[in-house]
Structure 1
Amino acid sequence: MQGGSPFDIFWLLIIFFSLWPLFQQKNIEWARLRLIKKIEEKRKSRVITMIHRQERLAFMGFPLMKFITIEDSERILRAIRMTPDDMPIDLIIHTPGGLALAATQIASALTKHKSPVRVIVPHYAMSGGTLIALAADEVIMDPNAVLGPLDPQLGQFPAPSIVKAFKMKKDNLKDETLILADVAEKALNQMKNTIKNILLVKGYKENKAKEIAELLTCGYWTHDYPLTVDVLKEIGINVKTDVPDEVYDLMELYYQPGLTSSVQYIPVPYGEPKKENIPIKKPH
């Protein structure tokens, strides 16, 4: 029996290094599922995650940026349908936002679930992620986590700014500009009504629901402005900050080791510094 040639060994190495990212990704997915099951058993709930981080394609290793899509809403709606009416839902979200249609579908489905719904935000849930958070009976955030404004975006421009520019200069406008202003006004009204209806279902009084909806959509902040826990409480949104430790552990499993990180630290918690017992010399 003849031994393998160097050329054969070369091809075996090519196959191994090509498949290794796939094995690595599957191992991370299994670890995530085990931890999700642990959280479910502890909290007696259905745990659903929507984590949008930069991921690597399993085969070639190219990074992809993710956001809320129709596929996300389809999967979350299916998970909600599979959850008994008497079982709470814990939705862990980490997202920059995405399609308004998908976020609205998810939020609407959460409001219809008969048991308590808790949305947990360990870091941030901007734009459509904020809309989903408003559909929860409890919004649980890290003390430093943020949500974001909900002003609709038309292309590269925010709808409130389009409407404001139209009111400032009504004369000698092109038909396209008039149409854009009309669409922007419709988008604003639609989002305001969506937010208000969600908050009414969650027990907010009508005046408060209307006030919050107006503030989040009117363009008072830029679209990427971070709304901290303190700001959210100030405008009247019920927020808690007791994020379970297991959620932070789960987020660590979405870290991609193949991507170079600019942040480094010794990954152990530090306690109080120990006091050394230094003998005191008495004067002679």
Structure 2
Amino acid sequence: MGFGDLFWIIFIAIAMQPFLRQKFLEIARQKAIEAIERKRGSRVILLVHRQETMSLLGFPIMRYIDIDDSEEVIRAIRLTDKDVPIDIILHTPGGLVLAALQIALAIKKHPAKVTAFVPHYAMSGGTLIALACDEIVMGEHAVLGPVDPQIREYPAASILRAVKRKPPEHIDDSTLILADIAEMALKQMKENLKIILDERYPPEKIEEIAEILSQGYFTHDYPITYEEAKKLGLPVSNEMPVEIYQLMKLFPQPVRGTPTVEYIPLPKKGTKS
């Protein structure tokens, strides 16, 4: 074997490393999912969004809930018998209202128990999906978020408040149109929440939760902790199985250059004097 042959073997091995690493991760994830399903007797569905790096160009792409996600989740629900519980693991900043609402309505119609696991965060559309579940299991530091609609880059509630502070003759037509859309969006979101929450709470509680979460009382990225969710009356638990955290380790964030967080990944115990 000459130097040229050795060079090409090394080159191909290096080039194949990302592909092989991804395949090993996929196999490990499937085994972890199967282990959780056997233990809990459930169907496990993951909705995990990470920041991804585009090949060659190297710039980050933010992932979010889209129509492809809703189609896949609904397909998984259809493949699940009516008497089989569903565990959906949510790790997402949110996304399209239509896609999140489709998933939420499909979950609500599943006869067996549906549990949402939120190990870290499920904001906006992720919270909408969690609200459709019978139980929400949150990690110790996990958060949910408001589900108030956003029009372009602005909260719908803020658009309406801004319009009310000016005389109509001082407001341009495009802003008035945005305000009209915002008013419809707020009404629609509240009604959708009522449908999702129906049969799980008393009518007055449904009205309270729908009002607080959808009508712009907080900024859209406001973190709703386990304690706040419990005070609000949501069916939350903080008993997160360790297997869920182990599964999340198999969804590493793509590293670009030097990592921003670094530590020795071993338990650290104090020394007795």
Question: Offset at 1:42?
Answer: 0.4
- The yes-or-no answer on 1:188 pairing with 2:182 is no
Structure 1 residue 89 and structure 2 residue 91: aligned? no
Partner of residue 150, structure 1: 147
Cα deviation, residue 54, structure 1: 2.1
Q: Taking every aligned residue pair, what percent have the same amino acid on both sides?
A: 52
Q: Which residue of 2 aligns with 1:32?
A: 29
Q: Report if aligned partners of 2:46, 2:89 keep a CA contact under 8 Å in 1.
A: yes
Q: Which runs of 5+ in 1 are unaligned?
A: 277-284
Measured after TM superposition, the shift of residue 96 of structure 1 is 0.5
Alpha-carbon distance between aligned partners in 1 of 2:244 and 2:196, rounded to the nearest angstrom? 26
Contact kept, 8 Å, 2:50 with 2:253, in 1: the verdict is no
| 1:217 paired residue among 214, 219, 224 | 214
| Distance change (3 Å), C-alpha of 1:16 and 1:58 | farther
CA distance in 1, matches of 2:228, 2:243: 26
The structure whose Rg is larger is 1
3-state SS, counterpart of residue 46 of structure 2:
strand
- Whole-angstrom distance in 1 between the partners of 2:56 and 2:26: 15
**Other structure's SS at 1:248 match:** helix
1:56-92 residue CA offsets vs partner (Å, 9 max, x unmatched): 4578766432111111100000000000000000000
- 1:282 maps to which residue? none
Task: State the alpha-carbon separation in 1 of the partners of residues 83 and 131 from structure 2.
Answer: 21
- Give the total of aligned pairs: 271
Cα gap change, 1:124 to 1:97, in 2 (>3 Å): same
Structure 2: distance between partners of 1:170 and 1:183: 19
Equivalent position of 2:172 in the other structure: 174
Please say if 1:115 is aligned against 2:115.
no
What's the counterpart of residue 39 of structure 2?
A: 42
* Whole-angstrom CA distance in 1 between matches of 2:254 and 2:2: 33
Per the alignment, do residues 83 and 193 of structure 1 end up closer, same or farther by CA in structure 2, a change over 3 Å counting?
A: same
Q: List per-residue Cα deviations over 1:162-205 (Å, max 9, x = no partner).
A: 0111122142222211111110000000100111111113x111
Aligned CA-pair RMSD: 1.9
- Of stretches 94-103 and 173-182 in structure 1, the one that deviates more from structure 2 is 173-182
- Alignment of 1:137 with 2:134, yes or no, is yes
Check whether the contact 1:85–1:115 (CA below 8 A) recurs between aligned residues. Answer: yes
Deviations 1:94-123 (A, max 9, x none): 001111110000000000000000000000
Tell me whether 1:208 sits opposite 2:212 in the alignment: no
Letter of the structure 2 residue corresponding to residue 20 of structure 1: Q
Q: Where do 5+ consecutive residues of structure 2 fail to align? A: none
Question: Structure 2 CA distance, aligned partners of 1:27 and 1:234?
Answer: 42
The letter of the residue matching 1:265 is Y
Letter in 2 for 1:242: E
AA in 1 matched with 2:180:
D
TM-score, with length taken from structure 1: 0.89
1:264 to 256, 262, 265: 262
Residues 10-57 of structure 1: CA deviation (Å, up to 9, x unaligned): 444443333221111011011000000000000100000011112345
The SS at the match of 1:144 is coil
Equivalent in the alignment of 2:249: 252
Equivalence for 2:18? 21
CA drift at 1:234: 1.4
State how far apart, in whole Å, the 1-side matches of 2:214 and 2:201 are: 18
Q: 3-state DSSP class of the match of 2:210?
A: helix
Q: 1:84 to 1:58 in 2, by over 3 A?
A: farther
